[in-house]
Amino acid sequence: MNERVYKQGRWSLADLIPSADRPEDIGSEYLDQLESALSDLEGKRTILSPNISTDDFSEILAIVERIGSLMRRLGAYGQLWFAEDTANQDALSFRGRVESVLADAHNRTLFFELWWKGLDDTAAERLIAVSGDLSYYLNSLRRYKPYTLSEQVEQVINIKDLNGVEALVTLYEMLTSGFTFEIEVDGEVKSLTRSQLMTYARDSRPELRQRAYKELYRVYGENSTVLGQIYQHIVRDWADEQVDLRGFSSPIASRNLRNDIPDAAVDVLLDVCRDNVSMFQDYFRLKAGWLGMDHLRRYDIYAPVGSSEETYPFNEAISTVFSSLNAFSPTLASHAKRVLNEGHLDSEVRTGKYGGAFCYGVLPGLTPWVLTSYNGKIDDVSTLAHELGHAVHALMAADHSPLTFHSSLPLAETASVFSEILLLEHQLESESEPGLRREMLARFVDGTYATVARQAYFVLFEREAHALIKAGATIDALSERYLANLNDQFGDAVELSDEFRYEWVSIPHIYSTPFYCYAYSFGQLLVLALYKRYKKEGKTFVPKFLKILAYGGSKSPQEILAEAGIDIVSSEFWQGGFDVLQGMIDELSELKGSETS
């Protein structure tokens, strides 16, 4: 039987919510179901007490699950429809309408969360004992007990966020998704999206790499006043709510609690990343020699170290990703294929489409949706492996509740980064030529810099930026601080040009999800350590890894990893990930291959 041929295309959202003749009718069935479930829950309010029967409590939990499922379905459709075309007025209208409905739903269910957080420990433990898969969800709510406000204040915050900080994030996304960039290539001036432009950041021609970055930050620099002002408002809103109203000890502490990661573990992670930045600086010095340069410029850090300009047809890329997963576990490969077989991958390159790449796992057992812009470069193949890894993770956790199948952000990168390493392993096994092997390994180290050190330094900048904005810093001052942050990263190993001061306004995560980025560092270093165990243990490691994925979000990251013998508060653990990376760099320095002029 012939293998299926996969073609690049646009996703279908029909499995999430069917289309309708009129845009205003889309999702009406699920909106009605949500209203019914909310009414059912409100009807149970009078029986909430410390002495509630376990049967009544279980019935209420079932309603809470149903509400959560419906809210996730509606919210996901709004996000995905908007992401496929940020200029679509119907999509924007639906998203805004649903956000309003969801904010109202959250307000109407607040009484249950507040009652639950307010119970004494004895009453809560009695009910948790009969909650099954929802026990971690219930314990997680109680973690917020010290930071929870009155019902009326919580309702006001929800309404405020809808037309405040969430609206600012939407404006940022609309503005930046609409940017176009012009670059001259081989005598032709091209008008490109950001994803298309940044393929030239990995071009073998130094002048094209420079032009790409200069054009990127020319556009962002010209808009830096507006984008910087949006960021300042988001940061002030975060401080007002998380620190001043809720009482978190610092802006980042709120994210750490949401991730269920101890503050100490995050501090150790960031410290170890900073302590090891010289490893990347040494690597960049090596890379300069491979490229025949005295010094790398910031334009050159992702430059290929070989002369290969190969592009990869979409079907070839997908087949390679599937093969690499299948060699490790046919189960993982089967899950990844579901995304394409069910039309849940959007890989087209088009203006107006969300500029990044992501995977959206909506509900247990429902195949996730994956968005990427496939330009045929080797990095696009890695992106496919990464995002399909996220989808695999969601499907591995399909036996859990809608409220517990999503893993915490730091563990959310486990399957995605592991999939990238499996892809690299697969590529290296079929390549014996030293120059090409070095090119593949160098590309992986480049990616690891981007995922570990770069992301950690984003968070280090965020910690400073939040403090500076509280003290009244200007946008220019923030740009100066960001440039200093880059100098800390690169030392004297990489030459920086002035336009990189505007890089911070081009980072979507610091706008939409403050302090998100350390999850990437966490995930990459964790996976390097897990991969080391895989190479040592062989196939006996596979079920252990699948078990980590199958937990989803039904336990804390610390518990899941402790079961695998990992202590996330130990600097030695995080250093172990860097030691694996150092081994790769040592191997790279020993490989002999043709130099690139």
For the stretch 340-375, pLDDT in tens is: 999 999 999 988 888 789 999 999 999 999 999 999
How far is 147 from 71, CA to CA, in rounded Å? 24
CA distances from 384 to 339, 391, 508 (A): 11, 11, 20
Asked if 596 contacts 307 with a C-beta cutoff of 8 angstroms, the reply is yes
Residue appearing with tokens 């330009």: 375
In a domain? residue 268: no
Q: What's the domain count of the chain?
A: 1
Tell whether the model's pLDDT for residue 378 goes beyond 90.
no
In a domain? residue 249: no
Dihedral pair phi/psi, residue 573, rounded to 5°: -60, -50
Q: Is 419 buried (19+), middle (13-18) or exposed (0-12) by CB count in 10 A?
A: buried
pLDDT band at 433 (very low <50, low <70, confident <90, very high): confident
Give, for 494, the enclosing helix (H) or strand (E).
strand 494-495
In a domain? residue 118: yes
pLDDT band at 594 (very low <50, low <70, confident <90, very high): very low
Tell whether the model's pLDDT for residue 419 goes beyond 80.
yes
Tell whether the model's pLDDT for residue 597 goes beyond 60.
no
For the stretch 533-562, pLDDT in tens is: 898 899 999 999 999 999 999 999 999 998
How far is 244 from 235, CA to CA, in rounded Å? 13
- Residue type at position 570: S
For the stretch 309-337, pLDDT in tens is: 678 999 999 999 999 999 999 999 999 99
Structure tokens at 58: 């279980």
- Sequence-distant (≥ 6) Cβ neighbours of residue 285 within 8 angstroms: 296, 493
The average pLDDT across 195-214 equals: 93
Alpha-carbon dihedral sign for residues 194, 197, 202, 207:
negative
Closest among 217, 216, 379 to 302, alpha carbons compared: 379
Asked if 241 contacts 255 with a C-beta cutoff of 8 angstroms, the reply is no
- Sequence-distant (≥ 6) Cβ neighbours of residue 584 within 8 angstroms: 441, 444, 445
- Residue type at position 366: L
In a domain? residue 512: no
For the stretch 480-510, pLDDT in tens is: 999 999 999 999 999 999 999 999 999 999 9
Lowest-confidence range among 18-32, 244-258, 301-315?
301-315
Tell whether the model's pLDDT for residue 306 goes beyond 80.
no
Closest among 533, 536, 561, 535 to 547, alpha carbons compared: 561
Geometric angle at alpha carbon 552, from 525 and 59, rounded to 5°? 155
In a domain? residue 12: no
The 3-class secondary structure across 53-112, one letter per residue, is CHHHHHHHHHHHHHHHHHHHHHHHHHHHHHHHCCCCHHHHHHHHHHHHHHHHHHHHHHHH
For the stretch 2-52, pLDDT in tens is: 578 999 999 999 999 998 888 889 999 999 999 999 999 999 999 999 999
> What is the residue-averaged pLDDT of the chain?
93
Q: Could you list the residue range(s) of the whole structural domain that residue 133 is in?
A: 23-163
CA distances from 332 to 69, 326, 328, 409, 411 (A): 25, 7, 8, 20, 17
Q: What is the largest CA-CA distance in the chain?
A: 77
Tell whether the model's pLDDT for residue 149 goes beyond 70.
yes
Phi-psi region of 130 (alpha: psi -120 to 50; beta: other; left: phi over 0): alpha
pLDDT of 309: 65
In a domain? residue 13: no
* Element counts in the chain: helices (H) and strands (E): 26, 7
The average pLDDT across 182-193 equals: 95
What is the model's pTM? Answer: 0.82
pLDDT of 58: 97
pLDDT band at 307 (very low <50, low <70, confident <90, very high): low
- Residue type at position 502: Y
In a domain? residue 585: no
- Sequence-distant (≥ 6) Cβ neighbours of residue 56 within 8 angstroms: 44, 47
CA distances from 174 to 100, 251, 252, 573 (A): 19, 26, 26, 41
For the stretch 57-103, pLDDT in tens is: 999 999 999 999 999 999 999 999 999 998 899 999 999 999 999 99
What CATH number is associated with residue 51? Answer: 1.20.140.70
Asked if 405 contacts 395 with a C-beta cutoff of 8 angstroms, the reply is no
Q: β-pairing, 345-346 with 369-371?
A: parallel
pLDDT band at 223 (very low <50, low <70, confident <90, very high): very high
Tell whether the model's pLDDT for residue 258 goes beyond 60.
yes
pLDDT band at 308 (very low <50, low <70, confident <90, very high): low
Give, for 185, the enclosing helix (H) or strand (E).
strand 181-185
